[in-house]
Chain A
Amino acid sequence: MPETTGTAAPLIELDHASQVFHVKGEDLPAVSEVSLSVDQGEVLCLVGESGSGKTTTARLAAGLAAPSSGAVRYRGRDLAEMSRAERREYRRAVQYIHQDPYASLNPIRSVRGTLSIPLRRHGLARCAADVDARVDELLSTVDLTPPESYSAKFPHQLSGGQRQRVSVARGLTLSPKLLIADESTSMLDVSIRVSLLNMFTRLRKEDGVGFIYITHDLALAKYFAWEGRTAVMYLGRIVEVGPTPQIIANPQHPYTRALLEAVPEPDPELAARKKAGGGLLSAEIPSLAALPTGCTFHPRCPLAEDRCRASVPQLLPAPGARQDVACMVVTDPADPAAPAEAASGAGGGRP
């Protein structure tokens, strides 16, 4: 689906990957037929509510789970068919940063201990002096300076933002090519979140690290992935994907528009213009155990038509826009009098 740049295989690629969880005898399709790719130095944002499958998708890309069907490929090699050595190379190249800095650090280990284990294990530091030098370097990279005042600390002595930085530093120990950062329900202060994003951008531009960033806030996606792409997910499917500026300024899918409407604006004048409830018919996301028929978004969709209940829409190029969208009403308007204009009117807040 998303065009791969150049001829070489992309860094990471999900090819019609699906993940079905079996819970209490029920099949929960957490991710259905997701295809996406990210190359070195690229950034992709996965946006959606909790339950949209964005975290599961990221975990598939990170090799933390194997897809029930479809494939996940690293440089063109299917993860499931990798040799031990290839797997090790993949493991070093792709790292995942957990969203909860309070749970992702081992409480019994100092910062130095946390960072030195992977360094030693992978032979990246031979002696204590090497380890110290590398730990200091990593801590400086994540703006924990001066490093000496942090390396001996334990997680409970650090603030949430500092823990998150240590967590990122640990992800960087093996010099990865792709970082997957999950901030879908971040409780961190706004300022801390911004400084992390600025740090990520620096890593991307200076070291060519690719990023998959997971959030529920399109304002963050806009800021972080302006030069990259954004994929909006709903109940396990990508409903809209394309260059971020396009998604933000000219959203096509009614769900994307609702997400944009919902973002609180740091400006009282703009805030007053927001539409109640993001223009959705219902605030509650349906359960994966009882998915609506056809387009799973139809019960909440202000544009829903009869055919939306009948068949699942395919991800297709939106007419007059540069992104792909999975909405028949947009891609195949039955009534030629009501094309994408109805869509763009509500989006973005500004023309």
Chain B
Amino acid sequence: MPTSPRTPAPAPARDARSAPVLSVKDLEVAYRTGRDQSVRALRGVSFDLHPETSLALVGESGCGKTTLGLALLRLLPTLGEITGGSITFTGDDGRAREVTDMTPAQLRRWRWSEAAMVFQGAQNAFNPVLTVGAQMADTLRDHATGRLGRREIHERSAEALRSVRLEPRRVLGSYPHELSGGMKQRALIATGLLMHPRLLVLDEPTTALDILTQRTVIDLLAELREEFGFAMIFISHDLALAAELADRVITMYAGTVVETGSTADIFSSPRHPYTSKLINAVPPVSGDLAELASIPGAPPSLATLPPGCAFAPRCELATDECLAAEPPLIPLVERPADMTHAAACIHHDQVHHERKVIARA
């Protein structure tokens, strides 16, 4: 498998004892929808994330990507609740901690200092009436262990801004509306990186940005990862972003993992029809003109999941067997460091991934 220079597969030689930063087992999340009603938003999600690797969570809106990202940092909205499974976080000290058991005080210390999130929508994630500097200082004060002096706060904010190629003197005193969309997104990433976390979760980091700004954010994230060596999870509906930044891809559908594998495996031979269709919906700019096909229908409502495989109603490979039971993740290609390619599809050998060429370039 040819690996690209920018997305190095983690060397198998990596110390076998180096535990995953994050180990998620059978995670279940439910949202309350009424007095005694709830829907299962995540169903049995499991994966390991190794240090300094990047993972892309892909899927359409409403497939549970954002819910998973929020659940990992225990940031679910009030109606959401982790109902089962475990999230184990291993810090720099090698001590494993159970995120689902953390008290609010422990969470506060853990978030931002060890695991940070960059929220969707650079336009709205900052408070419009406070300067960027004030908001970064708040984050530092809230999450740092011990008291920080004004000087130190300023220095650390400035350093974080410099790391995202922003000029601290200009940005710290600015209000969010005085910055362009790309600068705001970079300032948000800087806020996430303030305390050098081991894990950074980014929700749609490039959506709603111009293409050139997207490019700078993609390049920046790739550079920052080399510089700071954090593990990264990013949530995106755009498969192209995964191809650019991820070592590994997890496809989510109806609140569960339907395919997982290294980026190279997923893009060269997706084994779940949903992943294949998602890839084929993204227009490539180079090469011949290929036909793009949308995925018919919409993701199912989590409240009324179809029987068996949740994707069956939208799948042309579906047979009676698919309706009988929800297929488990079937390991297909064994790879080290939790990069095993697995798909939750009993017809995985019938998924022939290719783009139909309409016109030659």
Contact = CB atoms under 8 A, between A and B. Distances in A.
Q: Is there a contact between chains A and B in the complex with CB atoms less than 8 Å apart?
A: yes
A349 interface: yes
A291 interface: no
B212, B284, B295: which has the most chain A beta carbons within 10 Å?
B212
A259 B212 contact: yes
A349 B7 CA distance: 18
A268 B211 contact: no
Contacts of A216: 210-211
25 contacts: A159-B298, A189-B237, A190-B239, A194-B283, A216-B211, A217-B283, A220-B283, A245-B289, A248-B361, A262-B211, A263-B240, A264-B218, A266-B267, A266-B283, A267-B284, A269-B2, A270-B243, A270-B284, A270-B286, A276-B219, A277-B212, A280-B212, A283-B182, A283-B212, A284-B180
A345 B210 CA distance: 24
Interface in A58-87: none
Interface residues on A, range: 35 or more
Interface stretch (B95-103, B144-152, B273-281): B273-281
What 6 pairs between A and B have smallest CB-CB spacing? A272-B4, A195-B294, A264-B240, A262-B215, A349-B286, A266-B282
A219 B290 CA distance: 11
A260 interface: yes
B208 A191 contact: no
A70 B298 CA distance: 46
B188 to A, nearest CB: 16
A277 B214 contact: no
B208 A185 contact: yes
B285 A349 contact: yes
Interface in B250-264: 263-264
B182 A284 contact: yes
A271 interface: yes
Given A191-B294, A218-B211, A283-B216, A266 B361 contact: no
A198 interface: yes
Nearest to B244: A271
A189 B7 CA distance: 25
B320 to A, nearest CB: 25
Contacts of B244: 264-265, 268, 271, 274
A220 to B, nearest CB: 6
| Interface majority SS (helix, strand, loop, mixed), chain A | helix
Nearest to A287: B180
B238 A194 contact: no
A198 B295 CA distance: 12
Given A198-B292, A268-B4, A271-B6, A350 B361 contact: yes
Contacts of B62: 159
A56 interface: no
Contact of B60 (A189, A218, A260): A189
Contacts of A226: 289, 358-359
Contacts of A260: 285
B207 interface: yes
A269 B241 CA distance: 13
Given A223-B289, A268-B243, A189 B61 contact: yes
Interface in A158-214: 159-161, 185, 187, 189-192, 194-195, 197-198
A261 B287 CA distance: 13
B317 interface: no
A50 interface: yes
A265 B286 contact: yes
Given A270-B286, A271-B6, A262 B212 contact: yes
Contacts of B60: 189, 191
B56 to A, nearest CB: 11
A50 B210 contact: yes
Nearest to B287: A350
A49, A194, A264: which has the most chain B beta carbons within 10 Å?
A264
B38 interface: no
A348 interface: yes
B210 A266 contact: no
Contacts of A222: 283, 285, 289
B34 interface: no
B77 interface: no
Contact of B293 (A50, A194, A278, A285): A194
A267 B182 contact: no
Contacts of A326: none
A263 B285 contact: yes
B213 interface: yes
A111 interface: no
A258 interface: yes
Nearest to A160: B61
B215, B218, B244, B293: which has the most chain A beta carbons within 10 Å?
B215
Contacts of A160: 61
A249 interface: yes
Interface string B29-56: 0000000000000000000000000000
Contacts of A185: 208, 210
Contact of A277 (B216, B267, B287, B298): B216
Contacts of A348: 285-286, 361
A59 B182 CA distance: 25
B5 A265 contact: no
A192 B299 CA distance: 12
Contacts of A266: 239-240, 243, 267, 279, 282-284
Given A159-B298, A185-B208, A278 B215 contact: yes
Contacts of B295: 191
A276 B361 CA distance: 24
Contacts of A218: 211, 285
B243 A267 contact: yes
A319 B279 CA distance: 37
Nearest to B59: A189
Interface in B226-241: 237-241
A305 to B, nearest CB: 22
Contacts of A217: 211, 283
Nearest to B204: A187
A214 B286 CA distance: 20
Contacts of A258: 212
Contacts of B181: 50
Nearest to B282: A266
Contacts of B182: 283-284
A159, A190, A273, A278: which has the most chain B beta carbons within 10 Å?
A190
Contact of B281 (A190, A261, A262, A263): A190
Nearest to B263: A268
